[in-house]
Amino acid sequence: WNDLKYPHFYKHREQIRALFWRASEVDMTHDVKQFPALTAQEQDAYLKIIGLLATLDGPQTDIAHRISAYTTDPSVKSIMATIADQESEHNHSYAYVLSSVTDWQGQVESFDTGRKDPVLMERNERIIEVYNDFALQPSIKNVLRAMVYTALLEGLFFYSGFAFFYNLARNNKMVGTSTMVSYINRDELQHGRFISELFRATLAEHPKYNSEEFIEWVYDQFQHSVAQETRW
């Protein structure tokens, strides 16, 4: 840690590690009482968006491990290990939240949203494609592409889901869930920030990939993702 190629990575490590929390720390007592009083539309959106977030967060623990295994920088390995642990806790938190407000069947149906909802399945097609390409064929090109989608996940995709729960809380509804989401949101902001630094460092070390073709691909992914997010 005293001889890093990218010394500012140490600051990222300290910031990310400082965010430790556990799902069980959040009191869901009031949410348990309030959930039955939500409108049918609010309940449906609540369960579907929790399912969406779980669908997105599920692969994040795995992709963090894969990036860690691919890098040759031990500081990156350490940071990605912390990120993987936090992503695992995020998944635990979604299960914790759902078990507080619905029965087992309701939990299963919520988590199955990503496998059954046609709009959501189409929305996630490119994520699946890019992550699987890196898993099956690790390369500089594929890890750069995976980092682009990690940034999209932890920025655009997650935040639009979080916004629903913030809106509920603004109306004094499901404040416990909103508190949980705020912890996850805080983590994801740090993860996204580090991934963007790692992306830039990787491009700097491999400048041939910083091509017009790749730049166009990145912009296309953001435009496509916004369109899919709007549909969803």
Q: List the catalytic residues.
A: 94
Q: Whose CA is closest to 99, among 90, 88, 108? A: 108
Question: Which positions ≥6 away from 120 have C-beta within 8 Å?
Answer: 52, 55, 113, 114, 232
Tokens of 57: 């967060």
CB 49 within 8 A of CB 232: no
Contact 17, 81 (CB under 8 A): no
Amino acid at residue number 198: L
**Geometric angle at alpha carbon 152, from 61 and 161, rounded to 5°:** 85
- Report d(CA 232, CA 212) in Å as an integer: 30
* Burial profile 126-144: b = 16 or more Cβ within 10 angstroms, e = fewer: bbeebbebbeeeeeebbbb
> Can you tell me the distance from the alpha carbon of 99 to that of 180, in angstroms, rounded to the nearest whole number?
14
CA distance 50 to 111: 8
8 A C-beta contact, residue 13 and residue 81? no
